[in-house]
Amino acid sequence: MIDLHRLRLLRELHARGTMHGAARALGYSPSAISQQLGVLEREAGAKLLERTGRTVRLTDAGQALVRHAAVLLDGLEAAEAEVAAIAAGRPVGLVRVSAFQSAFLRIVAPAVAALAQSHPGIRVEVIEAEVEASVPALRLRQLDAVVGDEYSGRPRPVHDDLVRQSLVREEVRLILPEDHAGAGEGRVRMTELAGARWAACQPGTGHREMQIQACRELGGFEPDLRYSSDDFLILVEMVRTAGACALLPDLVVQYGVPGVAVRSLAEGTIGREVFLLTRANRTPAVEAVAAALHHAAR
């Protein structure tokens, strides 16, 4: 009989691409992973891996087993959750959530506080992470829910095995120093900011790509990106103290950002959607967390 723990190891190897990558993700040594996968091959009665030097790839049998792994692991997760809920008389269990900073502060934190009162049997663990890093962890069952974002003109990949639900739709605003020449205007043209210093999130994030695209397409210039942080509060501080400009969504600025001017763009509107991603097969505990996130986002 195939052991589900070893099946998880095979799925992790497939996702990470190397034995060392799978070992780091799971906290094992590469030799321990290799030994367990050797046992899995004997259990399956087929060769699952082909080793060429330091590289390892899955055979056709290994690929087939990985495809079925999702169904088997979903079933196990659902069974464990249902039995626990029946025994407790209410949804219980661990739900691991990731969120980017502004959603963590404005949506996730209030939801966790509400769940502590309404569902004390659910343990919610939350980490701050961008959606780019969180989706692979969600698919590998290292996370149960991801709060991500998508800017207009920068669509995220679609994953057939995940469920996406909208939490918030909002507008992106231009953030200027209070003494900037454009601060006295209701709407500011991007073409007037070609010589400005800019603050944005780290390379590879949706926010940074959105800001570069806005400067190019609306302003016709390449932005001078001097300050980088995934902490939006740091970006606001660089506007206030260093004279930078930034494009930030309503979720960041709606609670007040003293010392800066918040303006709309004259060329049009840039939007952002904050969304929730989960696996298609949700446990009762994940359903409860999802409902709390939707309520907090209203």
Q: How many residues does the chain have?
A: 298
Alpha helix segments (H runs only) across the chain: 4-16, 19-26, 30-44, 60-88, 101-103, 109-118, 131-139, 206-214, 232-242, 250-253, 284-297
Q: Is there a single domain that holds both residue 182 and residue 265? A: yes
State the pLDDT at residue 125.
97
Percent of the chain beyond pLDDT 90? Answer: 54
Q: Tokens 């763009």 belong to which residue?
A: 265
Residue 187 sits in the same domain as residue 216? yes
* Domain CATH number, residue 109: 3.40.190.10
Measure the CA–CA gap between 126 and 97, rounded to whole angstroms: 5
Residue 53's pLDDT is 67
The CATH number covering residue 186 comes to 3.40.190.290
How do the pLDDT tens digits run along the chain, 298 residues long? Answer: 777 778 777 887 887 777 877 777 767 778 877 888 888 888 888 888 887 766 788 888 888 888 887 777 777 777 776 777 777 778 899 999 999 999 999 999 999 999 999 999 999 999 999 888 898 888 878 899 999 999 998 899 888 889 999 999 999 999 999 999 888 888 999 999 999 999 999 998 899 999 999 999 999 999 999 999 999 989 999 999 999 999 999 999 877 788 899 999 999 899 999 999 999 888 899 999 999 999 999 9
User: Do 13 and 62 share a domain, yes or no?
Assistant: yes
Amino acid 54: pLDDT = 67
Same domain for 55 and 30: yes
Residue 109 shares a structural domain with residue 256? no
Same domain (yes/no): 211, 282: no
268/178 same-domain check? yes
> Does one domain contain both 181 and 239?
yes
Domain-terminating residue out of 83, 108, 128: 83
Q: Return the ∠ at Cα 96 (arms to 91 and 97), rounded to 5°.
A: 110
| pLDDT score, position 3 | 76
Structural domain span for residue 63: 4-83
Instruction: Please give the Cα distance from 111 to 117 (Å, whole number).
Output: 10
Q: What is the CATH number of the domain that holds 35?
A: 1.10.10.10
pLDDT digits (tens, 9 = 90+) for 49-80: 887 766 788 888 888 888 887 777 777 777 77
* 21 class by beta-carbon count within 10 Å (0-12 exposed, 13-18 middle, 19+ buried): middle
CA–CA distances in Å: residue 104 to residues 57, 60, 118, 250, 260: 38, 42, 19, 14, 23
Q: Which of 50, 83, 116 is the last residue of a domain?
A: 83
Positive or negative torsion for Cα 225, 226, 228, 234: negative
Residues in CB range of 113: below 8 A, 6 or more apart: none
The answer on 241 and 196 residing in a single domain is: yes
pLDDT at 21: 77
**pTM for the predicted model, two decimal places:** 0.78
Which residues fall within 8 angstroms of residue 166, CB to CB, at 6 or more apart?
273, 274, 275, 276
Residues 187 and 43 in one domain: no
Task: Indicate the DSSP class of residue 298.
Answer: -
Residues 205 and 138 in one domain: no
Give the model's pLDDT for residue 29.
Answer: 79
Positive or negative, the Cα torsion across 125, 126, 127, 129? positive
Question: Alpha-carbon distance 89 to 120, whole Å?
Answer: 12
Q: What is the pLDDT of residue 290?
A: 98
End-to-end CA distance of the chain: 48
What is the total count of domains within the chain? 3
Same domain, 60 and 116: no
What pLDDT score does 40 carry? 82
Q: What DSSP designation does 188 have?
A: E
